[in-house]
């Protein structure tokens, strides 16, 4: 008997059907990182901020609404087209198709803050991670802030987090192996027959620390955000952190 389970697999964010379901189902998960990122950036008014891997542009829009000047980039031309159409009336907000490791159109030492929200799991090579961090270090002003998020290591290493969240691992997966492939899955409906699966890569915390230092950056704060009473009940029942946020600064020397 043929299975009726439908799985939407994504690694490039080019599937229009995926983009729609991604926004609808994962909105609450996005917001837990948004809240903490905004808190770490306050006050936003007057700051020039670069949002790398902006996706649907929701975080960029919220930052612009608080009177920050935002340039938001993403490799996905579909995302950028959606952003430009959806947020065309927004002030202080510009969307561009660009690679986070190749930002030559941004002047050196010209940005107050850079945000990278859940982008690094989609980066395919260590050299690309290094290039992104190097570009962040270049465009930031001295003392500028760099905030990036990733799946929490506990989350990555837990096969079944909740009824709607799971991990699957490649045959050679190891926490100690940079670039190890794993699949992060989210169940879309109650009967479990519709799912979204993200093909991700894992990067060690030690690797992040080393590459940041090479780029002239250092970690000053770690945050493990938790869901609040405003979030769906299922998410509030989580007993392990889903995300880890890194607050970094550029050395002032």
Angle between the N-to-C axes of helices 16-41 and 77-86, in degrees from 0 to 180, rounded to the nearest 10: 70
Question: Which of helix, strand or coil describes residue 100?
Answer: coil
pLDDT of residue 21: 58
d(CA 87, CA 105): 22
Please compute the mean of the pLDDT values over residues 108-128 and round it to a whole number: 96
Select the highest-mean-pLDDT range: 52-56, 182-186, 212-216: 212-216
- How far from chain centre, in Å, is Cα 91? 23
* Entry field: residues in the chain: 253
Confidence of residue 197 (pLDDT cuts 50, 70, 90): confident
In this predicted model, what pLDDT tens digit does every residue of 131-173 receive, in sequence order? 999 999 999 999 999 999 999 999 999 999 888 889 999 999 9
pLDDT of residue 65: 95
pLDDT of residue 182: 97
Question: Helix, strand, coil shares of the chain as percentages rounded to 5?
Answer: 30, 30, 40
Q: Cα–Cα–Cα angle for 252, 134, 219, nearest 5°?
A: 50
For residue 7, what are the CA distances in angstroms to 1, 34, 92, 190, 192?
A: 17, 27, 38, 14, 10
pLDDT of residue 233: 78
pLDDT of residue 77: 92
pLDDT of residue 198: 87
Residue 135: what are its φ and ψ, rounded to 5°? Answer: -65, -40
Domains in the chain: boundaries? 14-152+204-250
Which residues have C-beta within 8 Å of that of residue 129, sequence separation ≥ 6?
120, 123, 203, 207, 211
In this predicted model, what pLDDT tens digit does every residue of 4-36 receive, in sequence order? 444 545 444 555 555 555 555 566 666 788 989
In this predicted model, what pLDDT tens digit does every residue of 206-248 receive, in sequence order? 999 999 999 999 999 999 998 878 777 777 788 889 999 999 9
pLDDT of residue 237: 80
For residue 243 the two structure tokens come to 């995300």
On the question of pLDDT at 184 being above 70, the answer is yes
On the question of pLDDT at 190 being above 50, the answer is yes
Which residues have C-beta within 8 Å of that of residue 54, sequence separation ≥ 6?
60, 72, 73, 74, 79, 83, 95
Find out if CATH 3.40.50.150 is the number for domain 14-152+204-250.
Answer: yes
On the question of pLDDT at 2 being above 60, the answer is no
Residue of 40, 23, 31, 5 lying closest to 148 (CA atoms): 40
Residue 212: what are its φ and ψ, rounded to 5°? Answer: -60, -45
């Amino acid at each position: 008997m043929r299975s009726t389970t439908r799985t939407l697999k994504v690694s490039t964010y080019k599937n229009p059907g995926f983009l729609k379901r991604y926004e609808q189902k994962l909105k609450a998960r996005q917001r837990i990182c948004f809240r903490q990122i905004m808190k770490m950036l306050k006050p936003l008014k007057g700051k020039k901020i670069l949002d790398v891997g902006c996706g649907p542009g929701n975080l960029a829009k919220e930052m612009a609404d608080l009177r920050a000047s935002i340039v938001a980039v993403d490799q996905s031309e579909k995302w950028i087209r959606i952003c430009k159409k959806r947020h065309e009336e927004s002030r202080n907000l510009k969307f561009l198709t660009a690679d986070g490791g190749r930002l030559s159109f941004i002047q050196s030492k010209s940005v107050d803050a850079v945000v990278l929200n859940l982008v690094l799991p989609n980066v395919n090579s260590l050299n690309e991670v290094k290039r992104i961090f190097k570009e962040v270090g270049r465009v930031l002003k001295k003392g500028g802030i760099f905030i990036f998020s990733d799946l929490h290591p506990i989350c990555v290493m837990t096969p079944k987090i909740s009824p709607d969240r799971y991990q699957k691992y490649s045959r050679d997966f190891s926490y100690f192996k940079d670039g190890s492939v794993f699949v992060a899955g989210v169940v879309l409906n109650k009967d479990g027959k519709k799912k979204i699966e993200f093909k991700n890569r894992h990067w060690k915390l030690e690797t992040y620390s080393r590459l940041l230092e090479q780029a002239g950056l250092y970690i000053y704060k770690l945050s493990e955000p938790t869901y609040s009473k405003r979030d769906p009940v299922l998410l509030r029942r989580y007993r392990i952190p889903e995300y880890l946020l890194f607050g970094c600064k550029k050395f002032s020397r």
